[in-house]
């Protein structure tokens, strides 16, 4: 089985989709990129990517796979979005240790949530209609003896031991047979999707290369057919931190787990060194539009036009245009360019959770007045000390709800609380903090 990393040769015909994926740097590995390009040219090809319900939501790593399969659908190919109701009960081996097995009813609930998230990203009618599938449908009734005889006999334990995650676990604490068998189940998915829907391509992250190619090999051994594997690179950030993580944790696609405001800010705050990669991987803009944004980033990085364009596009894709509009209005209002009172309380709360903030208890409110501005500036860490807070007020740089504060004794009134519980503090033009009244 050949593994291609550099792409097709210059003298060969290049399929438009493959050319696009190569331009974006999205092809990490492929079993046979030339043969895949030829099949894509022959007509609609059915492909799949799988998502295990190991959490109640998908995240940014999953989003790259979602968008990659959207690119195939945009070129007329037929996506199968697989939710791993069966494989989610087992879990792909991790490098760091054995997974905690979640109860079946929890996995079932998470699978339903992932299905609802995935359905937002694909077209299910008309040409190139997508299909949702769940591997529990063909795995639940499988007889264990028949599975071991008909499927297990095609797998070499020696090759399975070569997997990086398995080798790492064996060198440390060991691995259970449950997780060791995961590769058989994922490979069986490919075989069943080939049989049921004529699926000829599985995509995924490059960390899934071993699992995906095991499925390719199983289809060849059982059905005598040649199918394909294609993986995308794992994303690394220039500063060495893990992609898709913030100080508050994973960036999820569920608005209840990562607010649209925090989602937007993640992309807006992207390092200039990373934004070109993010644009090419995630944006559905044309090559020309992306190259123009790259040019602006090189020549005027302070404008952050590429980051803002990416934040708008992806927030709209994941959360809708209304959410994007609300987030941008909130961001403008926080910096004195809009009406704070017009921001929905949930959006405002999400925004303030992304900046330094402090909590005020009901017992600290006396006669309808909150603690004085010096106390608020200090407790929110907007000022490092009470002396610094006094200097900020004295210099005219302290704002509460976008109103300049001129007296050290100023105490906000309960009536000034936004949404009944929030205050926005600002030092100068750009430094924000929040106050949240508890209860």
Segment 276-320, tens digit of pLDDT: 999 999 999 999 999 999 999 999 999 999 999 999 999 999 999
Number of domains in the chain: 3
Claim to verify: residue 362 and residue 280 sit in the same structural domain: no
Whether 94 and 202 map to the same domain: the answer is: yes
**φ and ψ of 246, to 5 deg:** -125, -175
Are residues 127 and 187 both part of a single domain? yes
pLDDT tens for residues 59-80? 999 999 999 999 999 999 999 9
* 38 lies in some domain: yes
Identify the domain boundary among 201, 233, 265: 233
Higher pLDDT, residue 337 or 57: 57
* 29 closest CA partner among 236, 205, 217: 205
What would the two tokens of residue 8 be? 């097709």
CATH number of the domain at 401, please.
Answer: 3.10.290.10
Task: Look at residue 3 and tell me if it is in a domain.
Answer: no
Domain of residue 272, residue span: 235-343
The gap between the terminal CA atoms of the chain, to the nearest Å, is: 63
Q: What's the CA gap between 284 and 281, in Å, rounded?
A: 9
| 62 and 141 together in one domain | yes
Percent of the chain with pLDDT over 90: 82
For residue 173 the two structure tokens come to: 């604490």
Together in a domain, 279 and 307: yes
Q: Which residues lie closer than 8 Å to 54 by C-beta, 6 or more apart?
A: 88, 91, 99, 102, 110
pLDDT of residue 97 exceeding 80: no
Report which of 59, 58, 70, 66 is spatially closest to residue 112, judged by C-alpha positions.
58
Same domain for 257 and 296, yes or no, is: yes
- Contact between 263 and 326 under an 8 Å Cβ cutoff? The reply is no
Q: Are 190 and 154 in contact (CB under 8 A)?
A: no
Counting other chains too, the contacts that 329-332 makes at CB distance below 8 Å and 24 or more residues apart are 330/261, 331/261, 331/264
Same domain assignment for residues 266 and 338 = yes
Q: What is the predicted pLDDT for the residue at 36? A: 97
Residue 244 belongs to a domain with what CATH number?
1.10.240.10
Count the neighbouring beta carbons within 10 Å of the beta carbon of residue 185.
Answer: 20
Q: Are 203 and 195 in contact (CB under 8 A)?
A: no
Q: Are residues 151 and 111 in the same domain?
A: yes
Q: What is the pTM of this model?
A: 0.89
- Tell me: the pLDDT tens digits for 3-49? 444 443 333 446 899 999 999 999 999 999 999 999 999 999 999 99
Q: What is the pLDDT of residue 14?
A: 60
- The CATH number linked to 162 is 3.40.50.620
Query: 6 lies in a domain?
Result: no
Is there a domain that residue 198 lies in? yes
Q: Is residue 5 part of a domain?
A: no
d(CA 311, CA 50): 26
Residue in the structure block whose two tokens are 């949240």: 436
- Position 368 pLDDT exceeds 50: yes
Mean pLDDT throughout 113-132? 96
Which among 200, 233, 266 is the end of a domain? Answer: 233
Answer yes or no: is pLDDT of 164 > 80: no
Under 8 Å CB-to-CB from 160, ≥6 apart: which residues? Answer: 166, 180, 183, 214
- 131 shares a domain with 21: yes
Q: Is position 329 within any domain?
A: yes
Helices (H) and strands (E) in the chain, counts: 19, 13
| 355 pLDDT higher than 50 | yes
96 plus 224 within the same structural domain: yes
Do 59 and 191 fall within a single domain?
A: yes
Q: Which of 176, 208, 233 is the last residue of a domain?
A: 233
**In this structure, are 373 and 404 located in the same domain?**
yes
Residue 88 domain-assigned?
Answer: yes
Q: Is residue 8 part of a domain?
A: no
Radius of gyration over every alpha carbon of the chain, rounded to an integer in angstroms: 26
pLDDT at 267 > cutoff 90:
yes
Residue 5's pLDDT is 40
């Amino acid at each position: 089985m050949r593994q291609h990393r550099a792409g097709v040769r210059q003298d060969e015909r290049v399929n438009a989709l493959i050319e696009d994926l190569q331009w974006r740097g999205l092809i990490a590995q492929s079993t046979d990129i030339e043969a895949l390009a030829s099949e894509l040219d022959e007509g609609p090809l059915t492909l799949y990517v799988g998502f295990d319900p190991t959490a109640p939501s998908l995240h940014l790593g999953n989003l790259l796979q979602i968008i990659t399969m959207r690119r195939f659908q945009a070129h007329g190919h037929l996506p199968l979005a697989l939710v791993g109701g069966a494989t989610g009960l087992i879990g792909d081996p991790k490098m760091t240790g054995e997974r905690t097995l979640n109860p079946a009813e929890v996995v079932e609930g998470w699978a339903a949530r992932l299905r609802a998230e995935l359905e937002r990203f694909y077209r299910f009618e008309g040409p190139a209609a997508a299909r949702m599938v769940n591997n529990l449908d063909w795995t639940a009734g499988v007889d264990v003896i028949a599975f071991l005889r008909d499927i297990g006999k095609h797998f070499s334990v020696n090759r399975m031991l070569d997997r990086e995650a398995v080798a790492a676990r064996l060198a440390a604490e060991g691995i259970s047979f449950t997780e060791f068998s995961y590769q058989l189940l994922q490979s069986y998915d490919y075989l069943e999707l080939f049989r049921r829907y004529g699926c000829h391509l599985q995509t995924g992250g490059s960390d899934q290369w071993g699992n995906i190619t095991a499925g390719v090999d199983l289809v060849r051994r059982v059905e005598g057919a040649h199918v394909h594997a294609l993986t995308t690179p794992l994303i690394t950030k220039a500063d060495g931190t893990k992609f898709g993580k913030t100080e508050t944790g994973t960036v999820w696609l569920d608005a209840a787990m990562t607010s649209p405001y925090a989602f937007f800010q993640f992309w807006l705050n992207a390092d200039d060194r990373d934004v070109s990669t993010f644009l090419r991987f995630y944006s559905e803009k044309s090559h020309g539009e992306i190259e123009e944004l790259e040019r602006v980033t090189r020549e005027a990085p302070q404008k952050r036009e590429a980051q803002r364009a990416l934040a708008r596009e992806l927030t709209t894709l994941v959360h809708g245009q209304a959410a994007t509009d609300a987030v941008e209005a909130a961001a403008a209002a926080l910096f004195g360019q809009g009406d704070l009172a017009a921001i929905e309380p949930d959006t405002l709360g999400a925004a303030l959770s992304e900046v330094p903030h402090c909590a005020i208890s009901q017992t600290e409110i006396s006669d309808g007045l909150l603690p004085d501005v010096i106390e608020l500036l200090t407790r929110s860490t907007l000022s490092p000390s009470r002396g610094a807070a006094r200097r900020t007020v004295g210099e005219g740089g302290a704002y509460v709800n976008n109103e300049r504060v001129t007296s050290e004794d100023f105490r906000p009134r309960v009536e000034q609380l936004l949404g009944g519980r929030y205050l926005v503090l600002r030092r100068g033009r750009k430094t924000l903090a929040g106050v949240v009244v508890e209860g």
